[in-house]
């Protein structure tokens, strides 16, 4: 079965590909020649995930799933939340986003945070949703070279390393996106066993 993952983000694609079974061929937006930006105009992660999946289904007629992820920081009233990718501006610059977050947390004693991912799957004329959450804290400085987004400043609960320092196989087991993807794959395996 061919299944489109509505992303241009190579890091996201790499993470998901390690979790998807061999009977599913994962295609990115680049693979289906979808180069136009898909606006994320909803005010919830669920809304934006569905918006992206619907765009591909409507314009390309392919089964598709899309995710939206937010970093919710307790002492910032769950900001940046749905605006996580654009926190420092529309250019989606991870370094600028992290710098702004670290600045906004400078005098906050509570640095607890959680990542949340919502996946929308469009298949057989219906939409299905899967989510995943991981709790942790925001460090005062960046650590690690791997990962992407806020990974260098997010340390998950129970670990001494950031997402940017942990091996991908460990990150995928505990991360928000990993948990949501496992739910997605379990659903596909249960309901589409012959794919």
**Which structure tokens are listed for 15?**
């993470």
Buried b (16+ CB within 10 A) or exposed e, 23-42: ebebbbbeebebeeebebee
Contact (Cβ atoms closer than 8 angstroms) between residue 84 and residue 130:
no
Catalytic residue (choose from 54, 67, 68, 151): 68
**Which structure tokens are listed for 133?**
């959450």
Question: How far is CA 177 from each of CA 19, 36, 58, 70, 195, rounded to the nearest angstrom?
Answer: 10, 24, 25, 10, 23
* Integer Cα distance of 24 and 127 in angstroms: 18
Give the relative orientation of helices 176-191 and 10-17 as an angle to the nearest 10 degrees: 50
146 is catalytic: no
Identify which of 81, 88, 147, 68 has the alpha carbon closest to the alpha carbon of residue 114. Answer: 81
Residues annotated catalytic, as ranges = 68
């Amino acid at each position: 079965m061919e299944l489109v993952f509505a992303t241009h983000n190579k890091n996201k694609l790499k993470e998901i590909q390690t979790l998807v079974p061999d009977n599913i061929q994962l295609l990115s937006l680049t693979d289906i020649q979808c180069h136009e930006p898909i606006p994320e105009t909803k005010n919830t992660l669920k809304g934006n995930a569905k918006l992206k999946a619907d765009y591909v289904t409507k314009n390309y007629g392919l089964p598709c799933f899309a995710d939206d992820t937010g970093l919710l920081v307790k002492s910032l009233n769950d900001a940046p939340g749905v605006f996580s990718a654009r926190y420092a501006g529309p250019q989606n610059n991870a370094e600028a986003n992290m710098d702004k977050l670290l600045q906004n947390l400078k005098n906050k004693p509570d640095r607890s945070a959680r990542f949340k991912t919502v996946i929308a799957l469009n298949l057989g004329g219906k939409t299905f949703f899967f989510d995943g959450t991981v709790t942790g804290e925001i460090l005062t400085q960046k650590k690690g070279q791997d990962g992407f987004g806020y990974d260098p400043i997010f340390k998950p609960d129970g670990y001494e390393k950031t997402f940017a320092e942990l091996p991908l196989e460990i990150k995928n087991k505990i991360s928000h996106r990993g948990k949501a993807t496992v739910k997605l794959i379990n659903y596909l395996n249960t309901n589409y066993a012959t794919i």
